[in-house]
Amino acid sequence: MTIVKDLAKMIDHSILQPSHTDEDLLKQCEVALKYDVASVCVKPYAVRTAVEKLRGSSVKVGCVIGFPHGNSSTVVKVFEAEQACRDGATEIDMVINIGKALGGDWDYVENEIKSVADMCHRNNAIVKVIFETDFVTKTEDKIRLCEICTRVGADFVKTSTGYGFVKQPNGDYNYKGATLSDVELMRKYSGPSVQVKCAGGVRTLDDLLKMKAAGATRSGATATETILTEAIKRFGI
């Protein structure tokens, strides 16, 4: 596999903007096909359309659950993930209950992640657990989440949604998204069977290369064309 193909197979092409229409969904699936990325990551209602559009290709269909703030009850997250699997998704990106993690209710957090992971695995899907590191900022909490994800058999730990907007000192709302230090921490404290996905703010080829070097094997991206066009220029096809 060439460097460019290897990088393309790191990318989960995100099609998650609230304003995306069905036409936008199909156009973005075309981008995923053009560059033969790892997967598209879509909203729950869009799974069937994406599966049909990508049928026969090597691009997988992933679906977000409890997105973006993780506030659905456990039973609803399990149902939402099960429905996505029925519709053809083979990768599930779930957001943890952020408030429960910040409040230290680790039994709840572990039960929720395990419930979704077990259901996904019964349906031959993998699960990526989104910590939302713009909200979960304490190192000890991130380490605890890595340990939980390892214990319950999650396939990936994931930094962010890209929608974890935090009020800034100037009053604006913005997010950091994936950081190298978080990716390194997640790689260090997750078991060897758990992979790391970065997401949020990975917009250039150099961003992706740095995340790869830090231990990420997948990356969410909306700037897929920009990243891979630059990769082709730099490394050749």
Active-site residue, 158 included: yes
pLDDT range class, residue 146, cuts 50, 70, 90: very high
Helix (H) or strand (E) run with residue 107 in it: helix 106-122
Percent of the chain with pLDDT over 90: 92
Lowest mean pLDDT among 174-178, 182-186, 202-206: 174-178
Q: Work out the average pLDDT over 72-91.
A: 98
| 173, β-bridge pairs | 167
Known active-site residue 105: no
Q: How confident is the model at residue 169 (pLDDT cuts 50, 70, 90)?
A: confident
Q: In this predicted structure, what is the pLDDT of residue 9?
A: 98
User: Residue 179, SS3?
Assistant: coil
Q: Distance (Å, rounded) from C-alpha 220 to C-alpha 178? A: 10
CA dist 161 and 135 (Å) reads: 11
Residue 237 confidence (pLDDT) above 80: no
Residue 236 — pLDDT band, cuts 50, 70, 90?
confident
Three-state DSSP class for residue 197: strand
Give residue 193's identity as a one-letter amino acid code.
S
Active-site hit among 100, 142, 158, 207: 158
Task: State pTM to two decimals.
Answer: 0.96
Is 93 among the catalytic positions? yes
* Arithmetic mean of pLDDT, 188-205: 97
Tell me the C-alpha distance between 100 and 102, whole Å. Answer: 6
How many Cβ atoms sit within 10 Å of the Cβ of residue 232?
A: 16
Q: What are phi and psi of 196, to 5 degrees?
A: -115, 130
Whether 212 has a pLDDT exceeding 70, the answer reads yes
Structure tokens at 87: 């519709």
Q: Which of 53, 60, 93, 128 is catalytic?
A: 93
pLDDT of residue 166: 79
Q: Which of the two residues, 4 and 237, has the higher pLDDT score?
A: 4
Q: How confident is the model at residue 39 (pLDDT cuts 50, 70, 90)?
A: very high
For residues 161 and 214, give the distance between their C-alpha atoms in angstroms, rounded to a whole number. Answer: 19
**pLDDT exceeds 90 at position 74:** yes
pLDDT band at 1 (very low <50, low <70, confident <90, very high): low
DSSP 8-state secondary structure symbol assigned to residue 207: H
For residue 91, the model assigns a pLDDT of 99
Contact criterion met (CB below 8 Å) for 235 and 2: yes
3-state SS of 112-144 is: HHHHHHHHHHHCCCEEEEECCCCCCCCHHHHHH
Catalytic residue among 77, 100, 128, 197: 197
Place of tokens 């996905």: 197
Q: Specify the CATH number of the domain 3-235.
A: 3.20.20.70
